Amino acid sequence: MQTPKAIRRAEFSPKIRTYVMLYVGFLLFVTIIGIPILIVWLLGLGQYTSRRYYENLKCLLTDRHLIYSKGAFYKVEKTIPLENIQDLTFLENPILNLLELRILKIETAGGGGSTMSDMKLVGIVDAEGFKEKVLGQRELLRMKTEHGQAGELGSDETLEVLKEIRDLLKNANPKYGQRLS
């Protein structure tokens, strides 16, 4: 098995520390029992925790996977194969907008509607560029896989399969078929 080749390492904005402070502070504030903890959070625990969280954020795009790790005290590392990525979506909320941050949500195949298979990357610098790089690498991997499978067929078989695909496209969309001819 090949060693994964690093394509791009995501860089995270330092504003994430403020986002974590505000987000957790808001959650503590809206719960009655969290208000006493909010005082401790604002007096230093929040700054310490958000700094540790930021220091442990890592995201690496390789030729076959997206590897993400996070955590302040308990660290989590997720590895998602690129072929399992179904969609990349940007999420925003008032706090994120105030801090000029975005969340890049990655939805994967086989989740069964569960968010357990999703990954949320908060505060990536140049999030649009990173999203495009992930999508581009996913497509490149798919093309390599398809060509690898097609290369196993004989050249006559490959030509026949391609002709069938062309005919199906012509039948499905006549305008597209005109461009193929």
Whether this prediction's pTM lies above 0.85 is answered by: no
Q: Distance between CA 90 and CA 131 in Å, rounded? A: 9
* Residue 2, pLDDT above cutoff 70: no
DSSP 118-160: -EEEESBTTHHHHHHHHHHHHHHHHHHHHHHHHHHS-HHHHHH
Residues 50-74 have pLDDT tens digits of 999 999 999 999 988 999 999 989 9
Domain range summary for the chain, segments of one domain joined by +: 6-180
CATH of domain 6-180: 2.30.29.30
Cβ–Cβ < 8 Å for 72, 56: yes
- E strand map for 27-73: 58-62, 65-70
**Helices 127-152, 155-172: inter-axial angle, 10-degree rounding:** 130
User: What is residue 150's predicted lDDT score, i.e. its pLDDT?
Assistant: 44
User: What is residue 153's predicted lDDT score, i.e. its pLDDT?
Assistant: 47
Q: Please state, rounded to an integer, the average pLDDT across all residues of the chain.
A: 83
- E strand map for 21-145: 58-62, 65-70, 76-81, 85-91, 103-108, 119-122
Question: Residue range 134-138: average pLDDT?
Answer: 90
Tokens in use for 66?
């997206």
